[in-house]
Amino acid sequence: MVIYLPKCLSYPTAYIGILKAGAAYLPLDVSNPDALIISVLQDATPKSIITTDSLANNKMRAALEQSGVKSKLLIIDDDGIWREDLEGNGTGREQFLNKHYYEESKLYFSRRR
């Protein structure tokens, strides 16, 4: 799985969730140039990409199209709701994911201060 997020609370949530699921992750910095992102996507061919709605619309969908990689987009809204873009093209056909895990992680990280 690719983590393509700015530094925010959702970043460690995604990171820990991926590790607990026993999957591998690949962090991509949002400041990377488009050519590097396309090259990494072609080499890694990830099954899923975790990103925000604005990053998905601005950069990731174009990079996926140019790279020819078929990956699911797991999109995190500003209010913390995770959803899956089922068609990968932003047409609105989406499945909302369980917000419960996000709320638990928010509580966990707020107690760690």
State which residues form the domain around 36: 2-111
Count up the domains in the chain and report the number.
Answer: 1
Q: What is the pLDDT of residue 42?
A: 93
CATH number of the domain to which 78 belongs:
3.40.50.980
Asked if the model's pLDDT at residue 63 lies above 60, the reply is yes
Task: State percent of the chain over pLDDT 90.
Answer: 14
| Confidence category of residue 109, pLDDT binned at 50, 70, 90 | very low
Q: What is the pLDDT of residue 108?
A: 46
Between 38 and 90, the higher pLDDT residue: 38
Rounded Cα distance, 62 and 73, in Å: 12
Between 53 and 33, the higher pLDDT residue: 33
Does the pTM exceed 0.95? no
